[in-house]
A and B are shown apart, each in its own frame.
Chain A
Amino acid sequence: MSELLKITALKVAAEEKEILHGVDLAISAGETHVIMGPNGAGKSTLGAAIMGSPEYTVTGGSIVFDGADITSETPDKRAKHGIFLSFQNPTEIPGITLSSFLRSAYEQVTGEHIKLFAFRKKLQEAMDVLQMDKAYADRELNVGFSGGEKKKAEILQLLVLRPELAILDETDSGLDVDAVKTVSAGIKAYKEQTGGSLLIITHNTKILEALNVDKTHIIADGRIAAEGGAELIDEVTANGFDKFI
């Protein structure tokens, strides 16, 4: 299988302080990878750096996606290449409805114009998967959404935008059992509909139950501390991160 994402010796800093000290990671098309690790280890930093967050500076190494070096590309270019990040705390954007925002995002990433009616149909199908009330389409983007609603709205965007690689940053955190089920169903639907790759940053194994995990990476103190298959998840669940620190 061809490598979709290849990260080599990646060093990332935030305001002068180095957080990632040389990370290597490769994801092939269609694979599902999981990143686990203690708080503050740099998991979310890695996800944000792949998306090109202005909060972080890449001080060394490279990120190659689909054969193209995207290390210094702007986030919108990365999105157009097919990368998607589900935010841990999605920003509230007043005055813009979820539907109109997502329609213009769709047009940007696909480069195609879509008629309103056709788009609303597409949106409705995705909302059905997530059992979202259709009133959400016309609410202001993330404004006044509960934690669970924000996460569902992120997965909704994932289903509509159909990227090649979806990075899910603690999409399951702060969700009740039912919400985790709904979100998992959404992720599974993405996988089935697109055959895309997943990079799942999580503390919780519940969200992984419906998925076949190909590879697990443990990040501790800004480095990959261990790698393995799905069995590594069970080990962490049983024994915690102590042996990796």
Chain B
Amino acid sequence: MKEKTLVADIDRAFYDFRYDEDEKNFLESGITPEIIREISAEKGDPEWMTEFRLHSLDVYNRLKMPQWGPDISGLDMDRIVAYIRPQKRMQSDWNSVPDDIKETFEKLGIPQAERESLAGVGAQYDSELVYHNVRREVAESGVVYTDLESAMHDERYAELIRSHFMKLVPPTDHKFAALHGAVWSGGSFVYVPAGVHLEIPLQSYFRLNAKGAGQFEHTLIIVEENAYLHFIEGCSAPKYYEASLHAGCVELYVGKNATLRYSTIENWSKNMYNLNTKRAAVEEGGKVEWVSGSFGSHVSYLYPMSILNGRGARAEFTGITFAGEGQNLDTGAKIVHNAPETSSYMNTRSISKSGGISTFRSSVVISENAVGSKSAVSCESLMLDSVSRSDTIPSMVIKTDKADVGHEARIGRISDEAVFYLMSRGLDENSAKALIVSGFAENVSKELPLEYAAEMNNLINIEMKGSIG
């Protein structure tokens, strides 16, 4: 049988529209103290934030580029535009959003999703949020969903932000965390008060339209005791030949007996370097559920981390990565068990085709005091042809003998036998392979919030002939 793969690449044409940017809105490229001060002034930062940015820049200049993962030498930091002035301040009325931006999000189906299935929506275009809105009943329950900038200037939240911002992911964590601390802009602040169960999700959508730019949004979510939140994050960008950079940061604080489900669909274009940092701290009896779909970008480094700080805290990570031609996606998850009777479960699938590289890294740390903890990791990889690559790099550090830890990894190629079996029932080679791939991904893809975000339907366009299901 031919070694050729006929499963279609993810159809990204849908995302590939763009609008011309007025370049006078671009700050100069590169990262210098002058540029940082300019961003800070532009945004009207409080003084502590200006200092925080400058301090982060110092750290950034001291730290080295990571050497242990995919090559990022194509990323010229002197050419990345860190900040693009918004055309207009953030709006909470959709009609007031500038037309080209409005059209962008309408094409992506965001307003429709908001009407149909979301409790609140935030939309970021390049560096700043252009739209933010929550349903009235949600706001009345005390839930806060706004951009970080507004919250920082609101005396009700200013202290909360100062005491949580980049405390889970300090700028010293790694070079791109430091960069983020220096140039961050946009993102979301979500606060769910104790006991509030938000049944319908909130969604933020990040769109990087400008070429050669960086997007550095910061998401800070605090879910108090006994509360529940499902937060969805979607990202996309049109394709340019210049490298773009996404170095966002997500910090999640999950209170006692609270649950936070955080779903991400990343579909950056293939010129994007996606160097994103996500971390959650979970208190006693609380739970964080990560659902992560990584489809886009040229290079990704993405390993959401859960720190289980309270007794009985839990973390679940469900992820799927699809690396096609020219993509090197290095993804995974980290779990730190820092208290007794904590538990974690990681379940991932990765697919590589047409020379794509997908690497799965898992890290489980069980500290001395995490007595009676449990962790299970299961990862499976599927390579669709002989030119693609898949690696699994597990790491486990277990400091108590009173823990139960399991790891299961499977790497395989699509089996000729299975393809023949399906073809013998009338499916052509293309459809047979597509069926095997979607079956392989099913376990994980059913967790993705398909029913919420309208643009999701266009994410995996594996050409299925005949109707499946």
Contact = CB atoms under 8 A, between A and B. Distances in A.
Interface of A: 51-55, 74-76, 78-80, 84-85, 87, 90-91, 93-97, 100-105, 107-109, 113, 140-141, 157, 161
A96 B416 contact: no
Contacts of B439: 93-96, 140-141
B284 to A, nearest CB: 36
A108 B436 contact: no
Contacts of B416: 54-55
Given A74-B428, A74-B429, A95-B442, A79 B467 contact: no
B425 interface: yes
Interface string B184-213: 000000000000000000000000000000
Contact of A95 (B420, B422, B424, B441): B441
A124 to B, nearest CB: 18
B366 to A, nearest CB: 30
Nearest to B438: A95
A78 B443 CA distance: 32
A231 to B, nearest CB: 33
Closest A-B pairs by Cβ, 9 of them: A95-B439, A95-B442, A108-B426, A104-B466, A105-B425, A75-B423, A79-B426, A54-B1, A109-B426
A87 B421 contact: yes
B441 A109 contact: no
Contacts of A96: 435, 438-439, 442, 468
Contact of A75 (B424, B442, B468, B469): B424
A95 B440 contact: yes
Contact of B443 (A52, A95, A97): A95
Contact of B440 (A53, A87, A94): A94
B408 interface: no
Contacts of A52: 423-424
B415 A91 contact: yes
Nearest to A53: B420
Interface string B426-469: 11110110011011111100000000000000000000111111
Residue from A51, A54, A90 whose CB has the most chain B CB atoms within 10 Å:
A54
B421 A104 contact: no
Given A100-B469, A104-B466, A108-B466, A93 B422 contact: yes
A74 B442 contact: no
B2 to A, nearest CB: 9
B272 to A, nearest CB: 29
Contacts of A80: 426
Contacts of A78: 424
B466 A107 contact: yes
12 contacts: A54-B1, A54-B420, A55-B417, A75-B423, A76-B423, A76-B426, A79-B423, A79-B424, A94-B442, A95-B442, A96-B468, A104-B468
Given A79-B424, A104-B427, A108-B466, 4 more contacts: A76-B424, A79-B426, A100-B468, A108-B426
Nearest to A142: B421
A112 B416 CA distance: 27
Contacts of A85: 424
B54 to A, nearest CB: 51
A87 B426 CA distance: 15
Given A54-B416, A93-B418, A108 B442 contact: no
Nearest to A110: B426
